[in-house]
C-alpha cells in the first residue's frame, strides 16, 4: 500500500507542477489577470506531496519491502538500518526522487517565504521552476518509477554495492544533489528576472541565499566524496580528475563565480549580464554533471550508475532547459540595462578578475573532461589526467589566489593603490619568505611550494579585512568571508604539503617484521579473520611507533557477501602534523603480506579547510538573511511612522 500511496503522491505532485508552470507562464503573458495567484499554493502543495512520496520510499527501504523492485534490487534484510535508509538514494530511481523532492521543497519555500520581489517576477520564477520540475517528473514516472512492484515478491534483496556502504558516501550524493537543486533555483530566479526584466539588486538579494546554500552543500558534497575516495578506494590519493569528480567540481566553480558576482550585483548594482550568464552556466554544469554520471558517455569509476537510455532522456532535458535559457539570454541580454560603473582599482575589478579566472579554470576542466568525447568522435582514444589538469588549472589558479588575497582589502567602486600598498607589501613579504623557506628546506616541486606560499599569503590576507574594525560590530557576512577565505588557505596548505612532502612505501612483511615510513616504524603483529554484519574480513594488526608509545592500526581487506565484492578498508592514524595511511594488500603466499604505507603531512587540512569554507558560506547566508529581515522590519517601521505623521498632520489641519 505504501508504494501505491507514494506513486499517487508523485503523480499529484507532477500535476501540480504542471499547473504551477502553466499558471506562472500565462501570468507573465498578460497584465492584470489573476491566474498567477495559483502558482504559490501549487508550489507549496507540490512540495508536501513530493516529500510524502520520498517518505514512502524511505519507509519501504526501512521495512525492506521485497515486493518493490527497487528495494529488492538494492537492499537486503541483513544490512544495518542506516544503510537500508541510505540505500533509498544509492540508486538511480531513488536518487532522482530525492532530487525531485528537494526541488519541490525549494519551490515550496519560495512560494511560502519570498516576499521581496515583485509578484510577477516570483510567478515567473515559479513557472521556470515548474518547467524544470515537469521534465524531471516525466523522467521519474516515465522511465525510472521507484515504486514499481515485482509480479511476486523476491525471496531476498540483492544488496547495495558494498563500496557504497559507507558513511562518507551515504551522504555524499544527497549533499551534492541539494547543491545541484539549489543551483536550479538560482537558474529559475535568473529566468524569471530575464522574462520580467527585473535584473537588479533586489533580484540579487533574493537569489543570494539560494546560491550560498547551494554552494555550501556542493562544497560539503565534494569534500565528502573526496574523503571517501581517499580512504575507501585505497589508492592514497584524494583527487583523481575522474570525469565524475570533475562533474561535481564544475558546478562548484561556476557557483563560486556566481556567488561573488551576485554579491557585486546586490551591493553595487554592477555585473548584471554577467550574473545572469553565470546563473545559467551554474545550472548547466549541474545538469551536465548528472548527464555524465548517468549516461556513461565517459568512462569513470562511477560507472555503477550508468544507463545510455537515461542518458538520452537527460540530454533532451538538458537541451530543452539550457538551450531555452541560453536562447532567452541571447534574446534579452542586450536589453538588460548596464549596471553601475567602477574604477580599475576597486573591489569590483578584483571580483571580476577572479570571476574570469574561475571561469577559465571551469573551461580547462570542461575541456579536459569532454576532450575524450571529442577525440573519440574523431576516431582517437585518449585519456586526460593530472599531467594536463594540474599545471593548466594552476596557470589560472595562481593569479586568482593573488587577487583573492588583495581583493577584500580594496574598497568598493574606487580605491587608490597607495592606500593598500602597506598591506600588499606585507602579503608579498609573507609569500616570498614562505616560498624561499620551502625551496631551501625541502625538495618539493615548484607547484607545491607555490601552493604553500599562497596558502600563507591567503591566510594572512583573509584576516586583514578585520584589521581596524570593531570585531563585535563586524557584520556576520564579513565573518563568513573571512572564514571561507581562511578555509581556502587551510585546504590549499593541505593540498600543497600532501603533494609536496608525502612519503610512500610498499613492503612485503611477515609477522614481526617492520617497515619504515616517514617518522614511523610500522610492525606487522599479525593478520586475523574477522566477521562483520554482512561481510568477512582479513584484518592486519600493525603497531606504529615514532619513538614514543606504539599505536595499533587495523587495516582490513573486506569481502562482502551480498553482492560478493572485496573492498579495502584503509587504516588511518591522525596526528596533528599528518596522517599515517595503511592498506593491507594480498598475501604473498610465503607468510608475507603486502602492505602499502603512506605518510601524508597535513593531509587532513584539505577537509578541515573545506569545512571552514562551508561554515563561512553558512555564516554569510545567515548574515544576509538576517540583514534583509532587519531591513524589511525597518522599512515597515518607517512606513508606520510616516503614516503616523500623516495622521498627526491631518489632525492638526482639522484642528486648524
Q: Which residues bind other proteins (CB under 8 A)?
A: 234-235, 277, 280-281, 284, 291, 295-297, 299, 308, 311-312, 315, 318-319, 322-323, 326-327, 329-330, 333-334, 370, 373-374, 376-377, 381-383, 385, 387, 506, 508, 568, 583, 585-586, 588-589, 594, 596
Minimum separation from the CB atom of position 299 to other proteins (A): 5
Minimum separation from the CB atom of position 152 to other proteins (A): 33
Minimum separation from the CB atom of position 597 to other proteins (A): 12
Cell of 18: 504542471
CA distance 7 to 145: 8
Nearest residue (CB) to other proteins, 312 versus 433: 312
Minimum separation from the CB atom of position 635 to other proteins (A): 35
- Residues facing residue 541 across a β-bridge: 526
Minimum separation from the CB atom of position 557 to other proteins (A): 10
Nearest residue (CB) to other proteins, 330 versus 531: 330
Minimum separation from the CB atom of position 46 to other proteins (A): 29
Nearest residue (CB) to other proteins, 215 versus 598: 598
Minimum separation from the CB atom of position 445 to other proteins (A): 15
H or E element, residue 565: strand 565-569
Nearest residue (CB) to other proteins, 323 versus 391: 323
- CA angle at residue 413 from 338 to 213, to 5 degrees? 75
In our burial notation (b when 16+ CB lie closer than 10 A, e otherwise), range 187-198 reads bbbbbbbbbbeb
Minimum separation from the CB atom of position 183 to other proteins (A): 16
Q: Which long-range contacts (C-beta less than 8 Å, at least 24 apart) are formed by 233-241?
A: 233/301, 233/568, 234/568, 234/570, 234/583, 234/596, 236/502, 236/504, 236/581, 236/583, 236/596, 236/598, 236/600, 238/498, 238/603, 238/606, 240/301, 240/386, 241/368, 241/384, 241/385, 241/386, 241/389
Q: For residue 334, how many other CB atoms are within 10 A of its CB?
A: 8
From residue 351, alpha-carbon distances to 214, 265, 379, 408, 409 in Å are 20, 11, 41, 9, 12
Minimum separation from the CB atom of position 461 to other proteins (A): 33
Nearest residue (CB) to other proteins, 598 versus 607: 598
Minimum separation from the CB atom of position 322 to other proteins (A): 6
The alpha carbon of 84 is separated from its chain's Cα centroid by a whole number of angstroms, namely: 24
Minimum separation from the CB atom of position 11 to other proteins (A): 29
Nearest residue (CB) to other proteins, 278 versus 481: 278
Minimum separation from the CB atom of position 297 to other proteins (A): 5
Cell of 33: 489577470
- CA angle at residue 511 from 506 to 513, to 5 degrees? 60
Nearest residue (CB) to other proteins, 312 versus 643: 312
61, 52, 60, 51: which is closest to 105 by C-alpha?
Answer: 51
Only one residue has cell 544503510, namely: 83
Minimum separation from the CB atom of position 162 to other proteins (A): 17
Only one residue has cell 592498506, namely: 583
Sign for the pseudo-dihedral over CA of 308, 309, 312, 316: negative
CB-facing half-sphere around the CA of 313: CA atoms within 13 A: 18
Nearest residue (CB) to other proteins, 325 versus 483: 325
From residue 445, alpha-carbon distances to 238, 241, 450 in Å are 18, 20, 9
Minimum separation from the CB atom of position 270 to other proteins (A): 15
- CA angle at residue 423 from 422 to 424, to 5 degrees? 90
Nearest residue (CB) to other proteins, 8 versus 233: 233
Nearest residue (CB) to other proteins, 318 versus 551: 318
CA distance 95 to 263: 32
Minimum separation from the CB atom of position 326 to other proteins (A): 4
Only one residue has cell 567602486, namely: 413
Nearest residue (CB) to other proteins, 103 versus 583: 583
Nearest residue (CB) to other proteins, 65 versus 539: 539
Q: Which residues contact 473 (CB under 8 A, 6 or more apart)?
A: none
Nearest residue (CB) to other proteins, 411 versus 503: 503
> Using an 8 Å Cβ cutoff, are 126 and 110 in contact?
yes
CA distance 504 to 516: 10
615, 621, 633: which is closest to 263 by C-alpha?
Answer: 621
- Cβ-count burial of 620 within 10 angstroms (0-12 exposed, 13-18 middle, 19+ buried)? buried
Nearest residue (CB) to other proteins, 140 versus 277: 277
The alpha carbon of 343 is separated from its chain's Cα centroid by a whole number of angstroms, namely: 33
CA distance 228 to 161: 14
Nearest residue (CB) to other proteins, 248 versus 568: 568
Spell out the alpha helix ranges (H) of 407-445: 417-441
CA distance 589 to 175: 43
Nearest residue (CB) to other proteins, 157 versus 236: 236
Minimum separation from the CB atom of position 69 to other proteins (A): 25
Amino acid at each position: 500500500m505504501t508504494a501505491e500511496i507514494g506513486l499517487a503522491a508523485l503523480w499529484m505532485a507532477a500535476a501540480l507542477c504542471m499547473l504551477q508552470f502553466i499558471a506562472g507562464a500565462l501570468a507573465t503573458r498578460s497584465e492584470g489577470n489573476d491566474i498567477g495567484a495559483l502558482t504559490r499554493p501549487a508550489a507549496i502543495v507540490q512540495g508536501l506531496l513530493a516529500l510524502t512520496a520520498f517518505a514512502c520510499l524511505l519507509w519501504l527501504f526501512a521495512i525492506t519491502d521485497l515486493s518493490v523492485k527497487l528495494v529488492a534490487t538494492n537492499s537486503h534484510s541483513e544490512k544495518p538500518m542506516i544503510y537500508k535508509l541510505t540505500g533509498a538514494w544509492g540508486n538511480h530511481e531513488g536518487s532522482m526522487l530525492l532530487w525531485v523532492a528537494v526541488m519541490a521543497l525549494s519551490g515550496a519555500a519560495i512560494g511560502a517565504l519570498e516576499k521581496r520581489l515583485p509578484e510577477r517576477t516570483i510567478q515567473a520564477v515559479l513557472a521556470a521552476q515548474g518547467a524544470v520540475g515537469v521534465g524531471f517528473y516525466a523522467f521519474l514516472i516515465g522511465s525510472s518509477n521507484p515504486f514499481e512492484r515485482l509480479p511476486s515478491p523476491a525471496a531476498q534483496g540483492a544488496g547495495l554495492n558494498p563500496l557504497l556502504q559507507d558513511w562518507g558516501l551515504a551522504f555524499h550524493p544527497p549533499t551534492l544533489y541539494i547543491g545541484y537543486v539549489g543551483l536550479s533555483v538560482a537558474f529559475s530566479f535568473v529566468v524569471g528576472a530575464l522574462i520580467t526584466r527585473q535584473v537588479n539588486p533586489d533580484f540579487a538579494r533574493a537569489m543570494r541565499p539560494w546560491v550560498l546554500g547551494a554552494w555550501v552543500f556542493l562544497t560539503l558534497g565534494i569534500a565528502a566524496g573526496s574523503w571517501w575516495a581517499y580512504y575507501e578506494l585505497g589508492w592514497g590519493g584524494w583527487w583523481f580528475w575522474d570525469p565524475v569528480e570533475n562533474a561535481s567540481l564544475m558546478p562548484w566553480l561556476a557557483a563560486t563565480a556566481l556567488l561573488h558576482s551576485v554579491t557585486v550585483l546586490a551591493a553595487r548594482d554592477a555585473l548584471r549580464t554577467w550574473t545572469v550568464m553565470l546563473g545559467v552556466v551554474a545550472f548547466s554544469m549541474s545538469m551536465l554533471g548528472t548527464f555524465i554520471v548517468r549516461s556513461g558517455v565517459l568512462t569513470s569509476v562511477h560507472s555503477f550508475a550508468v544507463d545510455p537510455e537515461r542518458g538520452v532522456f537527460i540530454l533532451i532535458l538538458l537541451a530543452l532547459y539550457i538551450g531555452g535559457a541560453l536562447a532567452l539570454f541571447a534574446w534579452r541580454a542586450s536589453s538588460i540595462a548596464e549596471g553601475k560603473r567602477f574604477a580599475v582599482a576597486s573591489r569590483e575589478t578584483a571580483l571580476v578578475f577572479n570571476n574570469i579566472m574561475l571561469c577559465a579554470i571551469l573551461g580547462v576542466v570542461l575541456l579536459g573532461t569532454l576532450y575524450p568525447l571529442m577525440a573519440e568522435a574523431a576516431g582517437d582514444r585518449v585519456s586526460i589526467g593530472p599531467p594536463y589538469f594540474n599545471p593548466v588549472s594552476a596557470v589560472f589558479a595562481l593569479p586568482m589566489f593573488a587577487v583573492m588575497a588583495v581583493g577584500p582589502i580594496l574598497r568598493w567602486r574606487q580605491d587608490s593603490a597607495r592606500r593598500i600598498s602597506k598591506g600588499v607589501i606585507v602579503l608579498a613579504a609573507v609569500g616570498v619568505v614562505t616560498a624561499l623557506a620551502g625551496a631551501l628546506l625541502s625538495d618539493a616541486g615548484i607547484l607545491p611550494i607555490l601552493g604553500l606560499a599562497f596558502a600563507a599569503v591567503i591566510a594572512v590576507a583573509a584576516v586583514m579585512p578585520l584589521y581596524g574594525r570593531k570585531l563585535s560590530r563586524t557584520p556576520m557576512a564579513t565573518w563568513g568571508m573571512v572564514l571561507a577565505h581562511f578555509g581556502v588557505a587551510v585546504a590549499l596548505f593541505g593540498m600543497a604539503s600532501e603533494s609536496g612532502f608525502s612519503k610512500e612505501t610498499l613492503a612485503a612483511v611477515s609477522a614481526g617484521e617492520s617497515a619504515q615510513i616517514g617518522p614511523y616504524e610500522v610492525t606487522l603483529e599479525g593478520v586475523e579473520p574477522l566477521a562483520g554484519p554482512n561481510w568477512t574480513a582479513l584484518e592486519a594488526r600493525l603497531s606504529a611507533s615514532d619513538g614514543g608509545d606504539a599505536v595499533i592500526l587495523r587495516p582490513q581487506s573486506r569481502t562482502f557477501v551480498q553482492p560478493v565484492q572485496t573492498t579495502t578498508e584503509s587504516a588511518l592514524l591522525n596526528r596533528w602534523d599528518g596522517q599515517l595511511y595503511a592498506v593491507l594488500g594480498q598475501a604473498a603466499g610465503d607468510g608475507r603480506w603486502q602492505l602499502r604505507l603512506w605518510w601524508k603531512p597535513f593531509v587532513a587540512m584539505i577537509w578541515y579547510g573545506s569545512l571552514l569554507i562551508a561554515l563561512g558560506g553558512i555564516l554569510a547566508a545567515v548574515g544576509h538573511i538576517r540583514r534583509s529581515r532587519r531591513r524589511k522590519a525597518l522599512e515597515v517601521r518607517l512606513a508606520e511612522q510616516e503614516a503616523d505623521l500623516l495622521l498627526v498632520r491631518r489632525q492638526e489641519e482639522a484642528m486648524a
